[in-house]
Amino acid sequence: MATMNISLPNQMRDWVETRSEDGQYANNSDYVRDLIRRDKLRTEKLDALQSAITKGLNSGKPKQFDKKTFTSRMQKRS
């Protein structure tokens, strides 16, 4: 595992230490790794959402939506 040194303001350092001392994380590094994992997952979800939005915008003109037809079609699927 690689090491990385980071500098934090005292208030942030105190927060990280509190999070590891309250028992939720084994140590400061464990907490920071969890934050990075969560940020990575959040970024991946946002990228997927943006991709779907872009695909929708590029799909052409909107078509008329008929709720009754849609509901009927969904009921036939189940």
pLDDT of 22-46, one tens digit each? 999 999 999 999 999 999 999 999 9
Average pLDDT (53-62) is 94
Q: Is the pLDDT of residue 77 over 90?
A: no
Query: Is 80 exceeded by the pLDDT of residue 21?
Result: yes
The C-alpha atoms of residue 8 and residue 16 are separated, in whole angstroms, by 10
**CA separation for the pair 11, 78 (Å, rounded):** 55
Mean pLDDT computed over 45-57: 97
